[in-house]
Structure 1
Amino acid sequence: MKVLVLGGYGLIGEAVLGRLIEDGHDLVGLGRDVREAQRRKPGAEWIAADMSRLLAAADWAPLLAGVEAVVNAAGALQDGPRDHLDAIHRRSVAALVTACEQVGVHRLVQVSAIGADLDSDNAFFRTKAEGDRAVASSSLEWTILRPGLVIAPGAYGGTALLRALAAFPWFVPAVLADRPIQTVSVADVAEAVSRAVGGRLAHGQIIDLVEERARPLGAVLLEFRAWLGLPKAPVVAVPAIVGRLAGSIADGLGLLGWRSPLRSAAIAALEKGVTGNSEPWAEINGRPAQALEATLAAMPAHVQERWFARLWLLKPIVFAVLSVFWIFSGIVGLVRQDAAADILISRGLPATLAFVMVLAGSIADIVVGAAVVVRPLARSALMAMIAITLLYLAAATALAPNLWLDPLGAIVKAVPMLCLVLVALAILEER
């Protein structure tokens, strides 16, 4: 069949899309930015579209031409500049359902979430449940799958955070370490979708996809630490208030375009635990969903996994240090403008030009220091930092080469700072 997968390059969507290609279906993937997806999955057709803007059946109709089944694996954790939960989870899904009924797409698989509840005070779970209701009240051959904590070879968001915390030196920090968690392999999710799309699963079901046994979050982290091949370390319970504070900070970063998994919605969800009923899927599948130990064993960790886990925690520190360094440097230049200009004047530059250069340099430092913490501007800011630093070094070499031998290393220290910018560029990508 021709199958449309919404969110086809996400953690779940990519695995689903790959499995359906193996099953022999013709795949169409949909997402906001599909350039990288086209490289990773060239066997699928890709459509660049934002679900939060597809809010009427007429918006969906052209995208459903020739499609026989739809898998909705799209979603967002919390409202932000790019993400609007009500639009993505409820309004767009309702419009999709109507469009499917109108154009004759009969089969729809909705990948929801454990904990979806119409009465939830958590916007993520409430809007997910509202989307599920739109699907379940339709005339389509529908299936709703609710996976627990999904574990996959790729990692971003919550699964990246698990790896990072597990790689923490000396001990493993955990907020709400005692909360029960049931994981599920992304392969099991893809298997369930495959069965639903292929008609090998009775439609009209809501199925939890979770391993049999729930375990505390702290135990999940220790499994990840062992998987990474790191020495044993104790789990240290972090007070819940620290998690809430981190969530508030992450919410603020969300307004700047960063999609941290530590946002307050995730902390609130974790407080309730991530658990479901494993028995229905075990009966359908003939065996329970794969346990965490087997999931991890199926994707052995190598050195790149340890690099990723350690660098993931360092990433916010790297960007914070760069931002503070450049902003502070610019402020010092403004406060001590006369002293900075005197250095240039002593090297033969006209006073007016010297003051203009100091002022321009100080403003440039402050601008790039502020821009680097705004996600859409971060790459441009880092490139500007490289250009400005090279310009500083070239000017210092031309005007005052003796500064390279300054006992306090004022010029020499720009070189490791430049290296830190290169590191920031290397780890900037999130997906």
Structure 2
Amino acid sequence: MKRDIASHGTLSHAPPVTQRVLLLGAYGLIGAAVADALLAEGHAVTGIGRDVAAARRARPAITWRAQDIARLARPEDWSPFIAGIDAVVNCAGALQDSARDDVQAVQATAMKALFAACEAQRITIVQVSAVGAAADAPTAFMRSKAEADAALAGCSCPWVILRPGLVLAAQAYGGTALLRALAAWPGPVAMPHADARVQTVPVGSVAAAVCDALAGRIALRGAYDLVEPQAHSLADLDAALRAWLGRPPRRVFRAPALLGRLIAGAGDLLSHLGWRPPLRSASLAELARGVRGDPQPWLSVGGQAIPSLADSLFAMPATVQEKWFGRVWLLRPLMIAALALFWAGSGLVALLRPAEAAAVLATRGTPQTLALAHVLGGALVDLALGALVLHRRTLGLATRGMVAVTLAYLVGGSVMAPDLWLDPLGPLLKAIPAMLPALLLLATQEDR
């Protein structure tokens, strides 16, 4: 049975009632924390997302449904997903248009269709938006969030809009991953918009706010910023994260805005290869104007106070995992670029000088035609692997291929030219350490 938790800004102090909740983006940074909190309160959770295989294994207590939310553009498209549901919590989002994401479709078009479908059935809606969402915001991310918020505010069903600031979590993803990695960097760092002001919120507070809304512990039909009282500069946030990691203080240079635009432009290009770089044009624009909100409306309706940055970090102590992550995370794009150049360059050299490459085998008894075929075939494989490692969706295939080809090269070389093991230039010996970056990338390919 559907239940109106509260209406028109009134509070309900009845004991929590178990509800059937549809959770959008249930395996994301915020969504996963919300899912755990809902389960802990006894709710029955159905999670929806594009790829739920790993999420189903990690959280078997949730009923998972695979669906690209961007394709649910009409109210009737949502009917199979909201049947029997008491409440909907939206934690889905996309930072910027890319090969994988359509911001307007995910954050505005699909949400307006969902809200219309829920309104017809009086289903409670909790919309997790973002501080800074406004119709005149500089990014499509914030404009589409504002469009969805406005549509929800016009609904007659019970609703709440929560607008978190910069979210801190044990799980590092997106912008928080970049900040953590920069804090782990050993030397001075150049930071665009180092004086921009931000207010943080721990992900647990966001999850608790969602639970409070569903339980009627706060007034519904309102929009609330979830931010700590004090704002910090990005430079001060870097210093706090660095101390959290146990690193000594270091100097932060105020980098020119042009540097930020160049890095963000590179991030935009990488997004077309399936990657989700945390620093793209949208995130840079939002950082430049700051991540700031007003915590007072949330407190005035009985919301739990948001911990300060210091308290949030104290409650989430850094371990050796965070220290390793910070260092390795920045090295991953360098390893990808190095492997792409190494394998593509190796293939290109072989194609440009096939006779000389084939001579290594021909002088050891391999027929010239067969030796040449080995060289040309290997060159094409090398070029393909060098290209495939650049795309996010084929990174795993490429790194496995690199390991397999290297092992085949070592076995083949041992059989056909064992003397190369003693060659002063070490063509076989050097292949072993050259394989290790591929193994490291394969081991760290997950990004959430």
TM-score by length of 2: 0.94
2:300 pairs with 1:278: no
Residue in 2 aligned with 1:188? 205
Indicate conservation of the 8 Å contact 1:67/1:105, yes or no.
no
CA–CA separation in structure 1 for the residues paired with 2:304 and 2:109: 36
Residues 121, 29 of structure 1: CA spacing in aligned structure 2 closer, same or farther, 3 A cutoff? same
Shift of 1:356: 1.0
CA–CA separation in structure 1 for the residues paired with 2:326 and 2:284: 20
Residue in 2 aligned with 1:7? 25
Indicate conservation of the 8 Å contact 1:341/1:358, yes or no.
yes
Residue in 2 aligned with 1:313? 330
Shift of 1:401: 1.0
Indicate conservation of the 8 Å contact 2:346/2:382, yes or no.
yes
Shift of 1:287: 5.6
CA–CA separation in structure 2 for the residues paired with 1:357 and 1:286: 69
CA–CA separation in structure 1 for the residues paired with 2:203 and 2:298: 14
How many residues align structurally?
430
| Corresponding residue to 1:91 among 93, 104, 109 | 109
CA–CA separation in structure 2 for the residues paired with 1:139 and 1:286: 23
Deviations 1:306-360 (A, max 9, x none): 0011110001011111000000011111111110111111111111111111111
CA–CA separation in structure 2 for the residues paired with 1:241 and 1:288: 38
SS of alignment partner, residue 223 of structure 2: strand
Residue in 2 aligned with 1:356? 373
Residue in 1 aligned with 2:13? none
SS of alignment partner, residue 109 of structure 1: strand
Deviations 1:251-305 (A, max 9, x none): 1110000011111111111110100101112333466311111111111111111
RMSD over aligned Cα atoms: 1.1
CA–CA separation in structure 2 for the residues paired with 1:172 and 1:296: 22
Residue in 2 aligned with 1:243? 260
Indicate conservation of the 8 Å contact 1:143/1:196, yes or no.
yes
| Corresponding residue to 2:184 among 167, 170, 173 | 167
Q: Which amino acid aligns with 1:122?
A: T
2:442 pairs with 1:425: yes
CA–CA separation in structure 1 for the residues paired with 2:253 and 2:366: 59
CA–CA separation in structure 2 for the residues paired with 1:286 and 1:145: 11
Deviations 1:380-423 (A, max 9, x none): 11111111111111111111111111112222111001111111
Indicate conservation of the 8 Å contact 2:30/2:91, yes or no.
yes
SS of alignment partner, residue 143 of structure 2: helix
Residue in 1 aligned with 2:214? 197
CA–CA separation in structure 2 for the residues paired with 1:389 and 1:271: 46
2:258 pairs with 1:258: no
SS of alignment partner, residue 30 of structure 2: helix
Residue in 1 aligned with 2:84? 66
Shift of 1:237: 2.2
| Corresponding residue to 1:402 among 407, 419, 422 | 419
Residue in 1 aligned with 2:15? none
CA–CA separation in structure 2 for the residues paired with 1:351 and 1:269: 61
CA–CA separation in structure 2 for the residues paired with 1:286 and 1:356: 71
Residue in 1 aligned with 2:42? 24
Shift of 1:231: 1.9
SS of alignment partner, residue 191 of structure 2: strand
Residue in 2 aligned with 1:210? 227
Single out whichever of 421-430 and 169-178 deviates more from structure 2: 169-178
CA–CA separation in structure 2 for the residues paired with 1:12 and 1:118: 24
Shift of 1:106: 2.5
Deviations 1:90-125 (A, max 9, x none): 1100110111123x1421000001111112231111
| Corresponding residue to 2:241 among 213, 224, 227 | 224
Deviations 1:172-192 (A, max 9, x none): 442211000100111111111
| Corresponding residue to 2:74 among 48, 56, 60 | 56
CA–CA separation in structure 2 for the residues paired with 1:22 and 1:359: 59
SS of alignment partner, residue 42 of structure 1: coil
CA–CA separation in structure 1 for the residues paired with 2:314 and 2:189: 21
Indicate conservation of the 8 Å contact 1:69/1:105, yes or no.
no
SS of alignment partner, residue 167 of structure 2: strand
CA–CA separation in structure 1 for the residues paired with 2:431 and 2:303: 62
Indicate conservation of the 8 Å contact 2:138/2:285, yes or no.
no
Residues 95, 132 of structure 1: CA spacing in aligned structure 2 closer, same or farther, 3 A cutoff? same
Indicate conservation of the 8 Å contact 1:282/1:289, yes or no.
no
Residue in 2 aligned with 1:34? 52
Single out whichever of 123-132 and 405-414 deviates more from structure 2: 405-414
Residue in 2 aligned with 1:414? 431
Indicate conservation of the 8 Å contact 1:281/1:289, yes or no.
no
SS of alignment partner, residue 301 of structure 2: helix
Q: Any unmatched runs of 5+ in structure 1?
A: none
Residue in 1 aligned with 2:10? none
Shift of 1:236: 2.2
CA–CA separation in structure 2 for the residues paired with 1:286 and 1:17: 20
CA–CA separation in structure 1 for the residues paired with 2:427 and 2:336: 21
2:119 pairs with 1:119: no
Residue in 2 aligned with 1:128? 145
SS of alignment partner, residue 64 of structure 2: strand
Q: Which amino acid aligns with 1:189?
A: V
Indicate conservation of the 8 Å contact 1:111/1:145, yes or no.
yes
Residue in 1 aligned with 2:12? none
Residue in 1 aligned with 2:166? 149
Residue in 1 aligned with 2:350? 333
Shift of 1:238: 2.2
Shift of 1:248: 0.6
Residue in 2 aligned with 1:365? 382
Q: Which amino acid aligns with 1:208?
A: D
Indicate conservation of the 8 Å contact 1:72/1:110, yes or no.
yes
Higher RCO, Cα 8 Å, sep 6+: 2
CA–CA separation in structure 2 for the residues paired with 1:34 and 1:173: 38
Q: Which amino acid aligns with 2:61?
A: G
CA–CA separation in structure 2 for the residues paired with 1:346 and 1:85: 59
Residue in 1 aligned with 2:311? 294
Shift of 1:163: 0.5
Percent identity for Structure 1 against Structure 2: 49
SS of alignment partner, residue 288 of structure 1: coil
SS of alignment partner, residue 349 of structure 1: coil
Shift of 1:56: 1.0
Shift of 1:165: 0.3
| Corresponding residue to 1:81 among 92, 99, 109 | 99
CA–CA separation in structure 2 for the residues paired with 1:212 and 1:120: 23
CA–CA separation in structure 1 for the residues paired with 2:319 and 2:230: 27
